[in-house]
Chain A
Amino acid sequence: MQWTRRHLLGLEELSAEEINFILERADSFKEVCTRPNKKVPALVGRTIVNMFFENSTRTNISFQLAARRLSADTLMFSKAGTSIAKGETMLDTARNIEAMGVDVMVLRHGASGAPWKLAANVSCAVVNAGDGQHEHPTQALLDLYTIREARGRIAGLTVGIVGDIAHSRVARSNIWGLTKLGARVMVVGPTTLIPREVEKMGVEVCHDMDHAVRECDVLNMLRIQFERQDGTNPFPSIREYKQMFSLTAERLARGKPDLLVMHPGPVNRGIEISPEVADGPKSLILRQVANGLAVRMAVLQMVAGVAAAS
């Protein structure tokens, strides 16, 4: 096949073939990242702007480094200290930035759907770096890539996504990607953190962490997003949540011997995952971060390619 999309907005709209195409391309960029010279001239003379209306460390730096390793020029734009603080709308800001001759916009925004709105209103390429509680496609792609790299396949594996499913765009994108590639997906957490009718996305719901640990080949531990819970308490106390759902070394020992542990970061150490598990031999957390770079290089190179040709 040939890549034809000018935007990467979400995994819901991608076919399994397209997802695999990105993962295979990331293999090539991973090789680039192992060389003494980690840069290729693919996007020389192109400009990529990171428009981050929400906080981010990993994703922001990862996209910037990916763009630079493709030889693109990068601009960084965040909410604080810009005209957004003066009340300029996202679209006005974006159109002004586009008028300066930008080729790709990488958008993180608190409103679900914002990247689609942006893509419909600009002629450059748009990449979704996380929109509200909706999708975070490059995080899911790097999770898929990491599982595929560690286990050699995705189809047939049982993957547990644990914790705050309701507020998590990472969960949603992972569910789309994993199910399309043939994995069995289990969402695990207290009823208050599992969205109603999530089964319609093709996943199993599980409220018993010990059962999930026994069943799964991979556990993706999500961060409890205290900042998204608007004052409501989805569980009686952190202590109780830890008791029921935290991935501790003791719990992990009852799982399959080759069970792998992932976390999209930032980690609430000692809440959803204990430090010795996060830093332990079954943890893929830092490999996820390393792979994120290769996956984002692949995405940026392809969408910029389509934008340049159209």
Chain B
Amino acid sequence: MASKMYDRAWLEDCLRRLAGEIVNNRTPSSAKALIGLRTRGAILADRLGELIRGEQGLELPLGYLDATFYRDDLGQGAGLKAVKPSEINFNINNRDIILVDDVISTGRSIRAAMGAIFDYGRPSSIRLCVMIDRGGRELPVQPDFLGARIEVPRGGFIRLKLHEIDPQGDAVYVVGPGEPEP
């Protein structure tokens, strides 16, 4: 059985802390923006945006990115699952982009996302915010804002569930090798 590592309360505390860190982080320009990586990173970016608005009174531009067409694993059948259009309706030039995703492992999807962002303009910086770092990096990409680090055995994975789209509600599961999806 997949084991539940964190629940809703943890996720809420974690997002509040990350929202504070993002606002207080010194970036090259003073104009920050959030871009969430579809699917769950986009929902997390929504929540972070709301927390930053509610608790800090700061309205950050918010965008959503689907980096499917920038992936490097076409030959492994990537890019054949459903996609959604990216929505970045603000000028990203000279902005500090906070890229938001749920889980980081190899770093390849972040690389793809950075490639996609540069096709919208030239940001002044890109920072990375992820909820869970599960290890297994294949590229030199590290989060600047991190919820928690969970080591997962080879062949296992992390599932972050969000109440907006998942029947399980807010939760983080560790799924061991051969174990079924939560």
**Interface residues of A, Cβ cutoff 8 Å to B:** 1-4, 21, 24-25, 27-28, 30-32, 35-37, 39-43, 70, 301-302, 304-306, 308-309
Contacts and interface: CB of A to CB of B under 8 A. Distances in A.
Interface of B: 66, 68-70, 74-87, 115-116, 119-121
Given A3-B80, A302-B80, 19 more contacts: A1-B82, A4-B80, A24-B84, A27-B85, A30-B85, A31-B85, A31-B87, A32-B69, A40-B116, A43-B74, A70-B69, A302-B79, A305-B74, A305-B79, A306-B77, A306-B80, A308-B75, A309-B74, A309-B80
B80 A305 contact: yes
Given A4-B80, A35-B119, A306-B80, A301 B85 contact: no
Which of A1, A24, A25, A27 lies at the interface centre, i.e. has the most chain B CB atoms within 10 A of its CB?
A: A25
Contacts, number: 65
Given A4-B80, A40-B69, A308 B85 contact: no
B115 A309 contact: no
A42 B86 contact: no
Contacts of A31: 85-87
Contacts of A4: 80
A40 B79 contact: no
B78 A305 contact: yes
A43 B79 CA distance: 11
A304 B119 contact: no
Contacts of A3: 80
List 10 A-B pairs, minimum CB-CB distance, nearest first.
A309-B77, A40-B69, A31-B85, A42-B69, A37-B119, A3-B80, A308-B75, A28-B85, A305-B79, A28-B83
Interface SS, B side: loop
Contacts of B120: 35-37
A42 B85 contact: no
Given A35-B119, A40-B119, A41-B115, A309 B76 contact: yes
A42 B74 CA distance: 8
Contacts of B69: 28, 32, 40-42, 70, 301
A153 B78 CA distance: 29
Nearest to B120: A35
B80 A2 contact: yes
B75 A28 contact: no
A40 B82 contact: no
A301 B115 CA distance: 18
Nearest to B71: A42
A296 B30 CA distance: 41
Given A302-B80, A305-B77, A309-B75, A41 B70 contact: yes
A4 B76 CA distance: 13
A293 to B, nearest CB: 15
A306 B79 CA distance: 9
Contacts of B76: 309
Contacts of A24: 82-84
Contacts of A1: 82
25 contacts: A2-B81, A3-B80, A24-B82, A27-B84, A28-B66, A28-B68, A28-B84, A30-B85, A31-B85, A31-B86, A37-B119, A37-B120, A39-B119, A40-B119, A41-B69, A41-B115, A42-B69, A42-B70, A42-B79, A43-B74, A301-B79, A306-B77, A308-B75, A309-B75, A309-B80
Which of A28, A70, A302 lies at the interface centre, i.e. has the most chain B CB atoms within 10 A of its CB?
A: A28
Contacts of B68: 28, 42
Nearest to B84: A28
Contacts of A42: 68-70, 74, 79
B75 to A, nearest CB: 5
A31 B120 CA distance: 11
A25 B119 contact: no
Nearest to A309: B77
